[in-house]
Amino acid sequence: MNREYIYTEIADGIASQIRNGVLKAGDRLPSVRMMCQEHQVSMNTAKRVFLELESQSLIESKPQSGYFVSRIMSVKLPLPEVSRPSLIANNDEPDELISRVYENMGKKGITFFSIGVPSGDLLPQAKLKKEIINATRELKEGGTEYEELQGNLKLRRMIAVRSLQWGGNLNEHDLVTTNGGMNALSFCLMALGKPGDTIAIESPCYPGILQLANGFGLNVLELPTHPTTGIEIEALKKVIPQINLCLLIPNFNSPLGSCMPDENKKEIVQLLSENNIPLIEDDVYGDLYFGAIRPKCCKSFDKDGNVLYCSSISKTLAPGYRVGWIAPGKYKSKIMKLKLLHSTSSISIVNEAVANFLKSGRYEKHLQQMRRAVQNNYQNYVQTIADYFPEGTKTSRPQGGLSLWVEFDKKIRTTELYDLAIKQNISIAPGRMFSLQDQFENCMRLCMGLPWTEETQLCLQKVGHLAKKI
Amino acid sequence: MNREYIYTEIADGIASQIRNGVLKAGDRLPSVRMMCQEHQVSMNTAKRVFLELESQSLIESKPQSGYFVSRIMSVKLPLPEVSRPSLIANNDEPDELISRVYENMGKKGITFFSIGVPSGDLLPQAKLKKEIINATRELKEGGTEYEELQGNLKLRRMIAVRSLQWGGNLNEHDLVTTNGGMNALSFCLMALGKPGDTIAIESPCYPGILQLANGFGLNVLELPTHPTTGIEIEALKKVIPQINLCLLIPNFNSPLGSCMPDENKKEIVQLLSENNIPLIEDDVYGDLYFGAIRPKCCKSFDKDGNVLYCSSISKTLAPGYRVGWIAPGKYKSKIMKLKLLHSTSSISIVNEAVANFLKSGRYEKHLQQMRRAVQNNYQNYVQTIADYFPEGTKTSRPQGGLSLWVEFDKKIRTTELYDLAIKQNISIAPGRMFSLQDQFENCMRLCMGLPWTEETQLCLQKVGHLAKKI
């Protein structure tokens, strides 16, 4: 551990205890002196820990008395219930609604709480620019030629190195690059699903997954999902005989932000493997943890190559680069064939640039900053919702990722709220988008990847104001 | 017409007459003086015409006598017959063979006659590098953000402007960008084909198309195809009641290099439209014409939006950029939905760079040079085949594009030839790859996009030598 960053490690640990409720609002923290003894650090380091926590609004100092857990984090809104979707496969795709929400993508002047990507302000744009320019200059043939089919070797190596953080232990031969994360999921479904097959997923579920599965003619079985611990294992067990495939976002899933406990991951991997049901794992949010540790992945528990691990840099570095990958386990040759057919090659320049950025070691530092920014957003969002949204509004309690799930009183329909908000150039993602059944009509997903400005705050207040009028 | 380039126009016209056999080997050309009068040009321009044709080895000067059509182009090998595939849908995909050929893609030290892309030496790499660097500097957020779903507006405008050359008259709203040409075809098949549907294609056919169609569960009907005029209309007429879709490469198709006459294009567009059968047109080779004029496209004759026009810059500018597009006619909303799902966004940087390159006006000049280089290759390939390949070898007579189709005597199996050649680090594309049936076992496709060096020549001679030993 670099001594320079030890203060962030200590601060993260305390922050995590505050968020988990181990430390409660008003609790007194140890003194600076005690902190020095406890962690064997200098006075300066101990002071930086407190400054760090204060900058995140997690603690506040009282003159002559020391530091206390801040009131702000005591704002905890009620948690939505575990979802209870119908256990019959449905395919009532909210096609028109999704088109309506996405047709504005990329337009200027709209505040997008609806699109699940980090805003440009949170990204290391200047450094990435330099990497693109260097890659263009240094790549053989200036990147005009096809890459190796499996993808940029340097990038695959860097991804393999990073996999150690989540207990992955991958090597470069295990990985195939793709044009972003959706492209990775699309290849997995294409490789493993036949029309008429049944796929088990979380509920609510990211709309792109619903549409992909529906588009390939799969029956979609939405399973009860807990807002903090993810898909319910008992529910999954019951439907094992019916399903051919399973797709999960175990870490900080969109839209709930839930994170499956390690033991659940392990149990599910084993269950699916025993029944020869491939597990597609989407880990695009895994690096955006608010706690002290990077959560493990289902792939960490994969013994026989039955897990297809998918991820990308779209949520943490550059959505517009479309750099993603699959560790397809025993399905590698199928995935390689699909890549050759549908993409031929990844785009050399962006893949080389990302590889070099990862290699430079800057990614970790960037992630630290970004995690802190998103976490601050989370606190600010919840505070604003508590202050300006209708009474009884519930929110999920994401432990990472970019999504906050909001549940209103039953009478508030978020499709209606969408129509009102978009007139004021605010875009939200209505809950109905996240299911193929009639559920979540009183819910919405908010993206926490926006910069927390007066404008953002005002827009969020407006959403609350509009909701009150419905 | 820019006066500076008028000499190339005149030269192209004469070159085309030589290639079509209107002017034959040994024929005398008009004198410089006559050329001036005939074309109303200066002595200097007329001289440049002759120099140009001489540099292409099309003509030779005889002291005191003037210019004559060169002997070299008199080398015309016999043309393969019209293909006669079985008219029952087959799906015997030469999977293992295709994998074998493509697994070496991108490896150094191999001479790739097998991969249908231009070599880096033929591409304007320095200019493209500059455009990438400029795009990275100038794009908002450095290209890290998603583009507009339909794709880069400037690029769509430039493609629309260029469509006038082939009678397309598109505008920017007609176009959707994709990650290269295969991605465009993949979206079209996904949008329009249901498993069990039947698709009509040319025979021989580009392997990627066969695999895509097969992968989507379509029945593939390969139709008789003439080596110079393309798919046989009468054959297509007969199967109309059986088919749901049609996919053609009307201009300089891979592997034959055939080019459908305009009247055939027109008739097929009308025939398919009347029967409500969508036509997917792949025009990736259209800009690489050897004659005087850019051939028209099927899309030029499309009255009701039934033609999905697909193209890319992979054969003319930068295969590694993966920049392609679709003009999907009346199927636009389906294509947009698939793009959102499977790609989310194109990659901003490369699309912006290509848009600016097209806007700079350099593309036309580059194409002129590239066409000339490929055409020279064609002549050199045919000459080498005449000199070094087994007697009785036939070749197609491409009027453009990158593919030369070679037909050996029945006893020479090109899968065997592949195995022998790859041991000498030479890769060819065996004919069996281009069908789902047992045909073309004595054929192969050669890519003409390599630089014509001693090394290339030697490798081609070696292929002939190996074929003689089988």
Closest residue by Cα to residue B182 from B278, B284, B256, B98: B284
- Residues A110, A8 within the same domain: no
Whether residue A74 has pLDDT greater than 80: no
Chain B residue numbers with beta carbons less than 8 Å from the beta carbon of A319 are 144-146, 344-345
CB proximity B149 to A under 8 Å: yes
Give domain status of residue A69, yes or no. Answer: yes
Dump pLDDT digits (tens) for B107-116. Answer: 788 999 998 8
The answer to whether residues B373 and B354 belong to one domain is no
Which residues lie below 8 Å from residue A153, measured CB to CB, with a gap of 6+? A172
Ranges under pLDDT 50 in chain B: 1
Q: What is residue A52's predicted lDDT score, i.e. its pLDDT?
A: 81
* B342: number of Cβ within 10 Å: 26
The answer to whether the Cβ–Cβ distance between B143 and A179 falls below 8 Å is no
Residue B112 shares a structural domain with residue B150: no
Task: With a cut of 90, say whether residue A94 has pLDDT above it.
Answer: no
pLDDT at A53 over 90: no
The backbone torsions φ and ψ at residue B381, rounded to the nearest 5 degrees and listed phi first, read: -60, -50
Q: Scan residues 338-357 of A and list those with Cβ closer than 8 Å to B.
A: 338, 340-350
Q: Quick one: pLDDT at residue B72? A: 58
The CATH number of the domain holding residue A22 is 1.10.10.10
Q: Does residue A190 sit at the B interface (CB-CB below 8 Å)?
A: yes
Task: Please report the pLDDT score of residue B4 as a whole number.
Answer: 60
Give B-chain residues touching A348 at CB under 8 angstroms.
320
Average pLDDT over residues A43-61: 83
Higher-pLDDT residue of A274 and B42 is A274
Q: Mapping DSSP to helix (H, G, I), strand (E, B) and coil, where does residue B383 land?
A: helix
| ipTM of the complex, rounded to two decimals | 0.81
Residues A31 and A103 reside in one and the same domain: no
Query: Residue B276 belongs to what domain range?
Result: 144-363
Which of B363, B388, B405 marks a domain boundary?
A: B363
Mention every residue, 6+ apart, whose C-beta is less than 8 A from residue A213: A189, A193, A199, A201, A220, A247
Whether residue B136 and residue A129 make contact (CB cut-off 8 A), yes or no, is yes
Residue A88 counted as domain residue: no
A270/A358 same-domain check: yes
In the chain, the amino acid numbered B257 is G
> For residue A39, what are its two tokens?
């962690």
Q: Provide the residue type at B311 as one letter.
A: S
Asked if the structure places residue A172 within a domain, the reply is: yes
Interface of A with B in 80-99 (CB under 8 A): 95, 99
Q: How far apart are CA B332 and CA B58, in angstroms?
A: 45
How many angstroms separate the CA atoms of B179 and B322, rounded?
Answer: 5
pLDDT for position A4: 60
Q: Please, are residues B226 and B235 in contact by the beta-carbon 8 Å criterion? A: no
B106 contacts on A by Cβ (under 8 Å): 145-149
Judgement on whether residues B310 and B170 belong to the same structural domain of the protein? yes
**Residue B219 falls within a domain, yes or no?**
yes
CB–CB contact A183 B343 (8 Å)? yes
Tokens of A116: 């699940």
Q: Are strands A279-282 and A307-312 parallel, antiparallel or unpaired?
A: parallel
Summarised one tens digit per residue, pLDDT across range A337-392 is 999 888 888 999 999 999 999 999 899 999 999 998 998 899 899 999 999 999 99
Nearest chain A residue (CA) to B136: A129
Residue A81 lies in a domain: no
Quote the number of domains for chain B: 3
Do B425 and B387 lie in a common domain?
Answer: yes
Kindly state whether residue B126 falls inside one of the protein's structural domains: no
CB contact under 8 A, B182 and A341: yes
Contact B199, B247 (CB under 8 A): yes
Q: Are residues A316 and A398 in the same domain?
A: no
Check whether residue B109 and residue B232 sit in a common domain: no
What is the reported pLDDT for B84? Answer: 92
Instruction: Answer whether A350's CB lies under 8 Å from A132's CB.
Output: yes
Touching A: B residues 170-189, CB under 8 Å: 179-180, 182-183, 186
* Spatial separation of the C-alpha atoms in residues B367 and B217, rounded to whole Å: 38
B424 and B349 within one domain: no
Examine the fold and report which residue of B363, B386, B419 is the final residue of a domain before the chain moves on.
Answer: B363
End-to-end CA distance of chain A: 53
DSSP B442: T
Inter-chain CB proximity A341 and B128 less than 8 Å: no
Q: Is B426 helix (H, G, I), strand (E, B) or coil?
A: strand
Last residue of a domain, one of A40, A74, A108: A74
Residue A1 has what pLDDT? 45
Q: Are A6 and A41 in contact (CB under 8 A)?
A: yes
Token couple for B180:
């290269």
What is d(CA A141, CA A110) in angstroms, rounded to the nearest whole number? 40
Using DSSP bridges, classify how beta strands A219-223 and A198-202 pair: parallel, antiparallel or unpaired. parallel
Measure B161 CA to nearest chain A CA, in Å.
Answer: 24
Q: Is residue B461 part of a domain?
A: yes
pLDDT at B245: 98
Note whether A149 contacts B106, CB cutoff 8 Å: yes
Show residues of chain B in contact with A314, CB under 8 Å. 344
Tell me, yes or no, if B108 comes closer than 8 A to chain A by beta carbon.
Answer: no
CATH of the domain at B418: 3.90.1150.10
CATH number at residue B252: 3.40.640.10
Q: Name the residue with higher pLDDT: B152 or A16.
A: B152
Q: Are residues B283 and B421 in the same domain?
A: no
How far is residue B139's CA from residue A30's CA, in Å, rounded to a whole number?
A: 49
Structural contact between residues B67 and B29, judged by C-beta atoms closer than 8 angstroms: yes
Any domain includes A299 = yes
Using CA atoms, how far apart are residues B390 and B410, in angstroms rounded to an integer?
12
User: In this complex, is the C-beta atom of A128 within 8 Å of any C-beta atom belonging to chain B?
Assistant: yes
**In the structure, what pLDDT confidence band is assigned to residue A3 with cuts at 50, 70 and 90?**
low
Of B141, B179, B183, the CB nearest to A125: B141
Tell if the CB–CB gap between B217 and A211 is shorter than 8 Å: no
In B, minimum Cα distance to A95 occurs at B337
Which residue matches tokens 């962006």? A350
Pairwise CA distance, residues A436 & A202, whole Å? 12
Verify that A168 and A51 share a domain, yes or no: no
Which pLDDT belongs to residue B1?
A: 45
